[in-house]
Amino acid sequence: MKLEMKDTPGQLVSVLGPISKCGGNIIAVIHQRDPESESDTLDVQIVLDLPAGRLPALIGQIKALGVDILRIGEERLLHKRSLIMIGHIMHTDISDTVDQIDRTGFAEVSELSLMMPAINERSSARITIKTANRIDMESAVSILREVAGRKELLVVEPLEEWT
Binding site for other proteins (CB under 8 A): 82-84, 86-87, 113, 115-117, 122-126, 154, 156-159, 162
- Which residues lie below 8 Å from residue 92, measured CB to CB, with a gap of 6+? 151, 152, 153
Q: Supply the minimum distance, in Å, between the C-beta of residue 36 and other proteins.
A: 38
Q: What kind and span of H or E run contains 2?
A: strand 2-6
Instruction: Using alpha carbons, select from 111, 103, 101 the residue that is nearest to residue 138.
Output: 101
Of residues 70 and 116, the one with the C-beta less far from other proteins: 116
CA torsion angle 135 70 110 150 (round to 10):
30
Of residues 46 and 130, the one with the C-beta less far from other proteins: 130
Instruction: Using alpha carbons, select from 49, 40, 43 the residue that is nearest to residue 70.
Output: 43
Q: Supply the minimum distance, in Å, between the C-beta of residue 98 and other proteins.
A: 16
Of residues 6 and 145, the one with the C-beta less far from other proteins: 145
In this structure, what are the phi and psi dihedrals at residue 142, rounded to the nearest 5 degrees?
-70, -30
Question: Which residues are 102's β-sheet partners?
Answer: none
Q: Supply the minimum distance, in Å, between the C-beta of residue 11 and other proteins.
A: 39
Q: Supply the minimum distance, in Å, between the C-beta of residue 92 and other proteins.
A: 15
Of residues 57 and 86, the one with the C-beta less far from other proteins: 86
